[in-house]
């Protein structure tokens, strides 16, 4: 599998996707489906960290795929923080968020920074 999906924390409140260097949109949608299954029955907040540290480039069609996935996110998903992204990927994600007026997508240089962004948001916006 080109994208490994796992719980990032013991509380099972953050799902992390670890991307291999080569992946495609089929892998992406399989990871998305697996994440949805992991969250079945959850009523509490679950955030997602796509860890693209090892990814060389995004496949063609990123903006359309991001819009599609954003429209399918369950209500319990509050933040998607893409970690390990290079400057081009960060620009694509920021452009996507601005064009679509979405503030739930963020970027981080590292997975630890992504965790910090999520922790700060949870503190500022408790349920």
pLDDT band at 112 (very low <50, low <70, confident <90, very high): very high
Q: What is the pTM of this model?
A: 0.92
Instruction: Determine the average pLDDT of the residues in 52-69.
Output: 87
**Given a cut of 80, is residue 91 above it in pLDDT?**
yes
Residue 73 CB-half CA count within 13 A: 20
Domains of the chain: 1-37+44-80+111-127 (3.30.750)
Q: How far is CA 19 from CA 9, 40, 54, 79, 121, in A?
A: 18, 23, 7, 18, 24
């Amino acid at each position: 599998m080109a994208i490994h999906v796992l719980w990032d924390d013991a509380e099972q409140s953050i799902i992390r996707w670890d991307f291999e260097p080569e992946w495609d949109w089929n892998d992406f949608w399989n990871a998305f489906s697996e994440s949805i299954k992991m969250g079945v029955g959850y009523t509490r907040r679950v955030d997602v960290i796509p860890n693209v540290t090892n990814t060389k480039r995004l496949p063609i069609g990123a903006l359309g795929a991001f819009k599609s996935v954003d429209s399918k996110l369950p209500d319990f998903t509050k933040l998607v923080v893409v970690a390990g992204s290079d400057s081009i990927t960060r620009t694509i994600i920021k452009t996507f968020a601005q064009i679509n007026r979405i503030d739930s997508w963020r970027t981080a240089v590292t997975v630890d920074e992504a965790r910090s962004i999520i922790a700060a948001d949870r503190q500022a916006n408790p349920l």
